[in-house]
Amino acid sequence: MKTIQFREAILQAMTEEMRRDETIYLMGEEVAEYNGAYKASKGMLDEFGPERVIDTPISELGFAGIGVGSTMTGNRPIIEFMTFNFALVGIDQIINNAAKIRQMSGGQFPCPIVFRGPTGSAGQLAATHSQAFESWYANCPGLKVIVPSNPYDAKGLLKASIRDDDPVIFMESEQMYGDKGEVPEGEYILPIGVAEIKEKGTDVTIVSFGKIIKEAYKASKILQEEGISCEIIDLRTVRPLDFDTVFESVKKTNRLVILEEAWPFGNVATEITYQVQSQLFDYLDAPVIKINTADTPAPYSPVLLQEWLPNANDVVAAVKKVMYQD
């Protein structure tokens, strides 16, 4: 095992796959000459040249469309958005073309494309640069949505995404690129659609994904000191979602808290809540609690932003509520 940064995990995954398959290329803003806005493509231009590592103008709709079209001629593009906030400009190509080509062509054209970049808030970036659209993409049939929380998962899942024959939305975070973690030195691939139990526990299940899961880990330590044992599940993949892992955990703990950095109306946590109450109603000893951001655009003020985002204290309070200790 070797300790590397999250950005290095992304770089290694893309580099290894591009060495293996010449039909793969990387395209996006500042991915080549600048080595990537977050240095996740450092050195790739030197190795693969400008035909396979392509800088684009600020034109998300244009280069997303080029990427989708190129899959129909045998390519496997990786399209980088500087942030998924900017993907809104190109979302027509993702929803109306990438997600639908396979069905609309009667199976003649698969669409092996990865759209990747950071999601969610990253400090004082204000309302238009702090949005989490995981649930938007997960709502669309034909797309797979992956949100890793550490370098190991990021590398293994990105390699799987690049090899997948369907379009994958691969979401990272500006605030995670410097995070360090252990990654095997040899090749490995993680299966899409499989959650992982990061901490085993007996009293309450906490489900989360992406960088916000760190708040669940902090809360678990606090609660452990008070004699409450938390089982933490990292979804890793939002669509397809591994409900079986969630169900088995809730059958054991009988309580569920869901932590998601997203607006509260109709998000991933909402769907999990519905599925759990529908399938496991008799197992629940308390109503499911979901923890989300405030139901407003993200504020610029650091004081307001702190209130807007979920944190470990919110998780502790939610766990105590489902334990009837509030």
Query: Which residues is 171 bridged to in the sheet?
Result: 117
Domain 2-183 has CATH 3.90.1300.10: no
Q: What is the CATH number of domain 196-322?
A: 3.40.50.920
* Catalytic residue check, 261: no
Domain range annotation of the chain: 2-183, 196-322
Q: Which two tokens stand for residue 51?
A: 């035909």
Residue type, 18: M
Residues of the chain below pLDDT 50: none
pTM of this prediction exceeds 0.85: yes
212: DSSP letter: G
Nearest to 129 by CA among 81, 165, 79: 81
pLDDT at 215: 98
* Catalytic residue check, 226: no
Query: Which residues is 169 bridged to in the sheet?
Result: 115, 145
For residue 252, give Cα distances in angstroms to 198, 203, 209, 231.
16, 8, 21, 10
Catalytic entry in 60, 80, 215, 231: 60
Catalytic entry in 17, 129, 231, 261: 129
Residues 78-125: pLDDT tens digits? 999 999 999 999 999 999 999 999 999 999 999 999 999 999 999 999
pLDDT at 326: 82
The contacts of residue 160 (CB under 8 Å, 6+ apart) are: 189, 190, 191, 192
pLDDT at 63: 98
